[in-house]
Amino acid sequence: MSQRTTKGRRREPLVIEAFFAGGAILVVVGLMYSIAKSWPSIDPLALATLVGIGLLLVVVCERLSLILRELRKVTVLMQRAVSDADRAEQKHTEDS
């Protein structure tokens, strides 16, 4: 009887998730702070600064996860190449 293996979503490292959560929280907190501090006129400089920093953290998080994914692919390809080279070397020494 064969079992199906389902591939779940691969979790990102804690650091990347922390950057993402921190950036998202900073965007929300910046908006709430700006609204609470200067309602009805929102201070545009404070809001832009806090939201900009938050969005920057979110973008950094996404780029880190993309880099990490590509490094995993490169690592797998390199490991395959090394194992293929080792097998070819062993076969060559056995034939000699």
Region at 12 (left for phi over 0; alpha for psi -120 to 50; beta for the rest): beta
Mean pLDDT of the chain: 77
In the chain, where the domains are located: 14-95
pLDDT tens-place string over residues 29-68: 877 777 777 666 666 777 777 778 778 878 887 888 888 8
CA–CA dist 93, 64 (Å, integer):
43
Which residues contact residue 36 at a Cβ distance below 8 angstroms, ignoring those fewer than 6 apart? none
| pTM across the whole model | 0.53
Region at 78 (left for phi over 0; alpha for psi -120 to 50; beta for the rest): alpha
CA–CA dist 37, 46 (Å, integer):
10
**Whether the predicted pLDDT of 88 surpasses 80:** yes
